[in-house]
Structure 1
Amino acid sequence: MNRAVMLRMAACGIMGLGAALLIAALLLWTYTGSRITKIPLNLDSTLISEGTGTAMDPGSMATMKLVVNKNVPLVSQQQIDVESPANADVVTLQVGTSVRRSDKQKDSGLLLALVDTVSLNRKTASAVSDDTHPGGAVQKPRTFNDENPATNIALPHDGLSYRFPFHAEKRSYPYFDPIAQKAFDANYTGEEDVNGLTAYKFTQDVGYDADGKLTEPIRYPSLYANDEDSKVTETASKWDVPGDPEEKITMTRYYAAQRTFWVDPESGTIVKQQERVNQYFARDALKPEVTVVDYKITSNEESVESQVNAARNERDRLALWSRVLPITFTAAGVVALIGGLLLGSFSLRTETALSEPGSVDGDHGFFGRGEPPVERERVPGAEAVTEKLPTPPKDVQRESGEGSSGSES
């Protein structure tokens, strides 16, 4: 096998590699990129928010008078886990949320507790509700000493829950509130830096207007069969309101909230959250009388850092498969194709050079052959020019003659 054939085979191999790299880049850009832009199935996080507020003393519910304390320290914990069904299309999140007074021990400081379950579309982060996927559920409240298995109450969800979609846009999104049991718009309000990450800021008003004024508070949807925690009748003395101490007064429980989400637009991860919640009893929805809880809490630094790192990991994963590898494969493929074409052209020139009669490898360079030797035109003997010798000098002729005659004698 000569050098030209070897070069030609190498050129074909390089061009084949280049074509394969370009095809791989195209597949990464189109097929693989869409396949990996999904909510991960291994979500497992515990998020803590802290703040202060006004809260009812849970222990006073069993006394003759409800006691409400102001400026109490509060801690909210949110545990997010993945449950079944979780597959290529949907992910089911079970989220347990609690709010406690940190100045009281154990269950005596528990103010709110909710276990929410929702199936989300892994691409859009919107709730999924069909024949094969639950539309959502909340866990039925239990007493502290209840050892029976937890039971769920069906609660159809709609809109977003606990995440925003990948490549979030600067617009409004419906975001589900499991306490109000319906979705409210989360409106884009700007960009802010969160621990070095540029985040989109969304705000949601439930029962409040943009200025924080009560406008349409939600009647608290009870999770009990008898609606016992949303409409309560007690004496005026128990409620601690003016009037006849023994007068029976029926009050309705209302709910309102304001939330601010800081969202990584690339991954849809909520990296920080601030929440104001107001639950109260009143005879007039717009005139609170007895506070259950009224607080404002914000994600603590550890939770923010954890969520920012999770968002960056998601960004890196998406960038690797949707930008870095496709661009790298495209550049390498183009270089390989050009190199293969050049090597192929050199192989053809080399093959031409080696196929000529009298060619010797040493006479021709790798990138081309030298000038061919000039072949002189042959001339017939009759037409050839005869070279005429010059006539010698006379003295040389004389000496030559004398020598000749002497030798003859």
Structure 2
Amino acid sequence: MNRAVALRIAACGLMGLGAALLIAALLLSTYTEGKIAKIPLNVDATLVSEGTGTAFDPDSLNRDRFVVDRDVPLALQEQMTVEAPSNADVVTLQVGSTLRRTDRQQDDGLLLALVDTVTVNRSTAEAVSSESNPGGAVQKPRAIEDDQPPTNIALPHEGLAYRFPFDTEKKSYSVFDPIAQKAFDANYDGEEDINGLTTYKFSQNVGYDADGKLVEPVKYASLFDDDADSQVTARASMWGVPGNPEEPITMTRYYAAQRSFWVDPVSGTVVKKDEHAYHYYAREPLEPEVTFVDYKVTFDEETVESQVASASDERDRVALWGRVLPITFTALGLVTLVGGALLGSFSLRAESALIDPGLDEADHGFFDTQGFQVPGAEAKTEKIPAPRPSDLPPDRPV
């Protein structure tokens, strides 16, 4: 194999590699990015919010009157894990939430507990349903001594759940509230910097208006068969209601809440959340009489740092496959294509020169020695004619 053929093969290889790199860049920026920008299947997060509020004293159930304490330290914990079914398109999130009085030990301070399960689209974070999966469920409460497996109650979800979509937009989203068992709008409320990360802030009102006034509280949906915690009948003296102290009074539990979400717009991760929730008993929805719990909590610093780090990791993953690699492959592909084209042109000239050396004159110069002439190698010789006899001197023999 001569040198010209080898150069031509190398040129074809370079151009093929360049074309492959450009195709790879196109696929990464379109198809592959859509496959990468999804909620991970290994979500395992503990979100802790802390604050204070007014809370019912469980010990007062055995007293003559219900007691409500003020300025109680409270902690809301959410444990988020992935369950089946989870695949390339959907992920099932199970979130166990507990609200505790931190001034009490263990279960003595437990005020609220809920295990919510929802299947969401991994790209849009929207709840999805099918014949075998209604889109969500909540776990039926169990007694502490109950050793039977938990029982789920089907609860179809709608809207977003626990995440926002990738490429979150500056608009309103419908976000599901598992306590109210329905979705409410979360409205865009501006940009804010959270630990160096630019986030979108969204505000949601459940039963409140934009000014924080109670306007349409939600009747609490009990998970007990007998609605034990949604309607309570007790003596008037227990409720602290004026009148006959022995008169049985039935009150209904209502719920309202306000939330603010700070969301990473690239990954849809909620990096910070403030929550104000109000559970109370009343005979009329808009006339609270006995507070069960009224609290305001926000993500603690450790949770915010963890969520910001998680969002940054997802940002980097999406950027790598959706921007960095496509740009790199495009640049390398163009350089390789140009290099292959130049090498191909060079090989054609070399092959032409080998076939017809006369083509390699001043206009080509492929075999030129860069201005240095080799003595005798390419020097043109001149023939000297032999003298004729008539030209010889008379005294010189032929």
Q: What TM-score results when the alignment is normalised by the length of structure 2?
A: 0.91
**Equivalent residue number for residue 233 of structure 1:** 233
**Equivalent residue number for residue 194 of structure 1:** 194
Change in 2 beyond 3 A, CA 1:210/1:360? closer
**Equivalent residue number for residue 298 of structure 2:** 298
Which string of whole-angstrom CA distances, capped at 9 and with x for unpartnered residues, describes residues 207-242 of structure 1? Answer: 001111100000111111222211111111100122
CA shift at 1:162, angstroms?
0.4
**Equivalent residue number for residue 76 of structure 2:** 76
Change in 2 beyond 3 A, CA 1:287/1:2? same
CA distance in 1, matches of 2:305, 2:200: 16
CA shift at 1:329, angstroms?
0.4
8 A Cα contact 2:352 2:359, kept in partner: no
- Partner SS state of residue 22, structure 2: helix
Matched letter for residue 8 of structure 1 = R
- For 1:6-405, what aligned pairs fall within 5 Å after superposition? 6-357=6-357, 366=366
Change in 2 beyond 3 A, CA 1:21/1:292? same
Matched letter for residue 238 of structure 1 = M
CA distance in 1, matches of 2:15, 2:135: 53
8 A Cα contact 1:180 1:218, kept in partner: yes
CA shift at 1:354, angstroms?
2.5
Matched letter for residue 316 of structure 2 = D
CA distance in 2, matches of 1:10, 1:225: 78
CA distance in 1, matches of 2:236, 2:379: 125
CA distance in 1, matches of 2:190, 2:230: 37
RMSD: 2.7
CA distance in 2, matches of 1:249, 1:118: 37
Change in 2 beyond 3 A, CA 1:360/1:123? closer
User: Which stretch of the first structure deviates more once superposed, 101-110 or 25-34?
Assistant: 25-34
CA distance in 2, matches of 1:285, 1:146: 34
Which string of whole-angstrom CA distances, capped at 9 and with x for unpartnered residues, describes residues 319-366 of structure 1? Answer: 1111111110010000000011111111112222222347999xx865
Matched letter for residue 130 of structure 1 = S
CA shift at 1:118, angstroms?
0.6
CA distance in 2, matches of 1:233, 1:358: 113
CA distance in 2, matches of 1:46, 1:350: 69
CA distance in 1, matches of 2:101, 2:248: 30
CA distance in 2, matches of 1:173, 1:185: 6
8 A Cα contact 2:360 2:367, kept in partner: no
User: Which stretch of the first structure deviates more once superposed, 83-92 or 2-11?
Assistant: 2-11
CA distance in 2, matches of 1:65, 1:80: 37
**Equivalent residue number for residue 392 of structure 1:** none
- Partner SS state of residue 164, structure 1: coil
Matched letter for residue 172 of structure 2 = S
Which consecutive unaligned segments of at least 5 residues does structure 2 have?
none
Change in 2 beyond 3 A, CA 1:368/1:284? farther
Query: Higher Cα Rg: structure 1 or 2?
Result: 1
CA distance in 2, matches of 1:272, 1:207: 22
- Partner SS state of residue 55, structure 2: strand
CA shift at 1:287, angstroms?
1.3
Change in 2 beyond 3 A, CA 1:237/1:103? same
Which consecutive unaligned segments of at least 5 residues does structure 1 have?
382-386, 388-403, 405-409
8 A Cα contact 1:82 1:94, kept in partner: yes
8 A Cα contact 2:139 2:150, kept in partner: yes
CA distance in 2, matches of 1:367, 1:264: 63
CA shift at 1:141, angstroms?
1.1
CA distance in 1, matches of 2:273, 2:367: 67
CA shift at 1:2, angstroms?
2.3
Q: How many residues align?
A: 383
Q: What TM-score results when the alignment is normalised by the length of structure 1?
A: 0.88
Which string of whole-angstrom CA distances, capped at 9 and with x for unpartnered residues, describes residues 187-206 of structure 1? Answer: 11001001100000001000
Matched letter for residue 104 of structure 2 = K
Matched letter for residue 139 of structure 2 = Q
CA distance in 2, matches of 1:35, 1:300: 33
